[in-house]
């Protein structure tokens, strides 16, 4: 894994990322990483978005996780399709490694029955407590706990 | 002695959340007077604003190069649908995630499929 100059561990896991939305004709480069959710039998992808305050889960994924209709804190979020009302809920997500260790994260995520724009890993409540690095030469995503 | 009115405090924290000033909201909650910490609204805000807890675990996925390549080549044929992929094999393709999960319950899978809605 990645180490600092003094030999201390920096990241503990690595996975392949997709540098565009898998299967999409949307041409701009983005970083999609694999995440695991207990309610699902396999991984899904989520876009890294360090500019987003919160992580967001697509309504269908949130439904599978039984996160819709809970009593979390209601809040509005500005999205590319306008402001959407949803709730902040706590749940467990996994950032999956191909090599090294995966991470399990008890995080606050934003969910809404109205949100069908995909999954995002945002800064507050998730990425701010993770070390991360990318190597675009081979689409490697490196990550580890603080 | 009258119950303390926590609403102005809660409204102020909510205002910070809605303007995405999460660090400021956390600082405000951290400085909350002790006599309001037991209020359910304040407790809920403290819960959702708690920093994430991150732990390592010895679970691994497999390399998904084949799945990503397949989606790049064939994604347009499945626009708007959910697919479950193992390598370049499509185990299931449905209109909704719920239907996909139902189909996978009766499908023999050699390894966990990548689940993806092609947008």
Q: How far apart are CA A48 and CA A100, in angstroms?
A: 20
Query: Which residues of B fall within a CB distance of 8 Å from A13?
Result: 56
Instruction: Report the pLDDT value the prediction gives residue B1, as an integer from 0 to 100.
Output: 59
Average per-residue pLDDT for chain A: 95
The CA–CA distances, whole Å, from A119 to A44, A57, B8, B42 equal 9, 5, 33, 28
DSSP H helical ranges for B3-119: 7-18, 22-30, 40-48, 65-74, 97-105
Chain A: residue whose CA lies nearest to B84:
A42
The H or E element that residue A61 is part of is helix A59-64
Q: Shortest CA distance to A125 belongs to which of B46, B40, B36, B34? A: B46
Instruction: Report the pLDDT value the prediction gives residue B108, as an integer from 0 to 100.
Output: 83
**Does B24 lie at the interface with A, CB-CB under 8 angstroms?**
no
Instruction: Report the pLDDT value the prediction gives residue B94, as an integer from 0 to 100.
Output: 98
ipTM greater than 0.85:
yes
User: Residue A63 is encoded by which pair of tokens?
Assistant: 């439904």
Q: Check the CA dihedral A143-A32-A137-B112 and report its sign.
A: positive
Instruction: Report the pLDDT value the prediction gives residue B2, as an integer from 0 to 100.
Output: 63
Q: Which of B59, B61, B116 sits opposite A22 (nearest CB)?
A: B116
Q: Which of B23, B78, B113 sits opposite A42 (nearest CB)?
A: B113
Q: How far apart are CA B95 and CA B27, in angstroms?
A: 44
Instruction: Report the pLDDT value the prediction gives residue A146, as an integer from 0 to 100.
Output: 92
Is the Cβ pair A22, B104 closer than 8 Å? no
Query: Which residues of A fall within a CB distance of 8 Å from B72?
Result: 20, 22-23
Is the Cβ pair B112, A124 closer than 8 Å? no
Is the CB of residue A47 less than 8 Å from the CB of residue A120? yes
Domains recognised in chain A with CATH numbers: 13-145 (2.40.70.10)
Q: How far, in whole angstroms, is CA B51 from its chain's centroid?
A: 15
3-state secondary structure (DSSP) of residue A76:
strand
Query: Which residues of A fall within a CB distance of 8 Å from B116?
Result: 22-23, 44-45
User: Residue B112 is encoded by which pair of tokens?
Assistant: 């966990």
pTM: 0.93
3-state secondary structure (DSSP) of residue A105:
strand
User: Residue B94 is encoded by which pair of tokens?
Assistant: 């449905």
The CA–CA distances, whole Å, from B107 to A36, B99, B103 equal 20, 13, 7
pLDDT 10s digits, B13-71: 999 999 999 999 999 999 998 889 889 999 999 999 999 999 999 999 999 999 999 99
């Amino acid at each position: 894994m990645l180490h600092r100059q003094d030999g201390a561990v920096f990241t503990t896991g690595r996975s392949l990322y997709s540098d565009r939305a898998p299967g999409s004709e949307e041409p701009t480069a983005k970083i999609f990483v694999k995440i695991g959710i207990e309610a699902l039998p396999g991984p899904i992808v989520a876009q890294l978005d360090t500019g987003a305050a919160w992580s967001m889960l697509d309504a269908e994924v949130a439904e599978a996780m039984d996160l819709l209709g809970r009593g979390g804190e209601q809040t509005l979020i500005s999205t590319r399709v306008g402001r959407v009302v949803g709730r902040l809920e706590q749940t467990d997500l996994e950032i999956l490694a191909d090599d090294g260790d995966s991470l399990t994260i008890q995080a606050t995520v934003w969910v809404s029955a109205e949100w069908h724009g995909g999954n995002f890993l945002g800064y507050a409540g998730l990425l701010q407590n993770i070390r991360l690095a990318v190597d675009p030469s081979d689409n490697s995503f490196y990550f580890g706990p603080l | 002695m009258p119950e303390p009115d926590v609403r102005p405090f809660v409204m102020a924290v909510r205002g910070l959340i809605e303007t995405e000033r999460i660090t400021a909201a956390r600082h405000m909650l951290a400085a909350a007077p002790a006599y309001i910490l037991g209020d359910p609204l304040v407790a809920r805000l403290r819960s959702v604003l708690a920093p994430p807890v991150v732990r390592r675990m010895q679970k691994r996925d497999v390399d998904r190069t084949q799945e990503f390549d397949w989606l790049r080549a064939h994604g347009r044929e499945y626009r708007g649908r959910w697919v479950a992929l193992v390598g370049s094999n499509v185990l299931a393709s449905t209109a909704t995630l719920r239907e996909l999960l139902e189909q996978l319950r009766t499908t023999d899978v050699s390894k966990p499929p990548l689940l993806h809605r092609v947008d």
